[in-house]
Amino acid sequence: MGGSPRRRDRTAGAPLIVAGDSAGGNLAAVMTLRARDHGGPDIDYQALVYPVTDCDFDTSSYVDPENQLLLNRETMRWFWNHYLPDERARTTPEASPLRAAEHAGLPPALVYVARYDPLHDEGVAYARALERAGVPVALEEAADQMHAFFQMAAILPGYEAGVRLVSRHINEFVAEHGKVGAVQ
């Protein structure tokens, strides 16, 4: 486990990028760990939007009354109870990637958190864990947004700015690595 991943020739095609928001961000983060630990595929970049990275319901952002909006602490308990009823299984890196023993060798990342979100602190903690492991990471915060704003096209303010921010980070990564094309 850990170590430097094998990297394919970046001149041969487009980079492999994983991305997701909330539970999808969890799946994307877990996939980078699995790919690193099991010899591939070679993932080049990860874009994690308010990702679920831990099963701790007692962080400051989980208990902050300002964060009990569309997604709240009790709803997250409900999700975890349905996703993994076995509380011990929740603490494995396969469910809580923040708890991986090592984050070195993972691909560069964007971690984009929402200020008014129970998941805020675990997203920040994941970005910091990547940073401590030497992984290039950009931590961005949607200062006036709550969980799920990224999914609310033409409904919640901030959606368009969020999509532009994520697109910009992906485009910059692709441009830096000599790839053709751009995310719109």
Give 1-43 pLDDT, tens digit per residue. 444 444 544 445 789 999 999 999 999 999 999 999 999 999 9
Please give the Cα distance from 23 to 18 (Å, whole number).
13
Burial annotation 78-113 (CB, 10 A radius, 16+ → b, else e): eebeeebeeeeebeebebbbbbbeebebbbbbbbbb
Q: E strands, 26-117, where? A: 45-49, 109-116
Q: Which residues are catalytic?
A: 22, 117, 147
Q: What is the pLDDT of residue 157?
A: 77
Which domains does the chain carry? Answer: 17-176 (3.40.50.1820)
Q: What is the pTM of this model?
A: 0.89
